[in-house]
Structure 1
């Protein structure tokens, strides 16, 4: 919480007074006494993001290889490679577990 001095517009700083907490100006004698608990929580609104891999439709026509799932240890996984960085960098390989109850996704 920011409070400003009505006299000179400077930001008020928290301080502990004789009897209570207070906000005071550092350049003039203005003091704002705190008479009740001051608290407020604000949670940022998260943006909805698009699935960069194309959602579930992207996994319909992909191949499977012998790659163990790090979550359930199933021995096969679907894979696809996508160029996510510049052209001189290698492609990123995305995996999805073939076990329909797991469906864990990871990348290398």
Structure 2
């Protein structure tokens, strides 16, 4: 929270080398002692994050392959390939376990 000088409207600074602490103006002789603690906290709302892989609908029409799930050891997994790096690097393969009880997702390492 910012406080402004009532005389010249500049931002007041805090001087902590004196007791009690005080607000002071750099351009005029205005000084105001700080008698009670002043605090203000604003919790910012985070932006909604877009799912880079397209969310649940991205897995609707994908093929499956023989790939073992590292979590449940199921033998098949759905897969899709997405270009996540520059064009001269290979595509990244993402997997999702075909076992609906598991549905673990991982990427090729």
Smaller-chain TM-score range? 0.5 to 0.7
Q: Give the Cα separation in 2 of the matches to 1:31 and 1:87.
A: 61
Q: Which residue of 2 aligns with 1:66?
A: 67
Return the offset for 1:42. Answer: 1.0
TM-score by length of 1: 0.68
Q: Secondary structure at the match of 2:52?
A: coil
Q: RMSD in angstroms over aligned alpha carbons? A: 2.7
Return the offset for 1:80. Answer: 1.1
Count the aligned residue pairs. Answer: 105
Distance 1:40 1:52, change over 3 A: same
Unpaired runs of 5+ residues, structure 2, are: none
- 1:1-108 pair list within 5 angstroms: 1-16=1-16, 17-18=18-19, 20-62=20-62, 63-69=64-70, 72=71, 74=73, 76=75, 77-108=77-108
Which deviates more from structure 2 when the two are superposed, residues 39-48 or residues 23-32? 23-32
Return the offset for 1:98. Answer: 4.0
Equivalent pair of 2:69/2:104 in contact (CA under 8 Å)? no
Equivalent pair of 1:4/1:12 in contact (CA under 8 Å)? yes
Equivalent pair of 2:72/2:102 in contact (CA under 8 Å)? no
TM-score by length of 2: 0.67
Distance 1:28 1:65, change over 3 A: farther
Q: Which runs of 4+ in 1 moved over 6 A?
A: none
Q: Give the Cα separation in 2 of the matches to 1:42 and 1:101.
A: 41
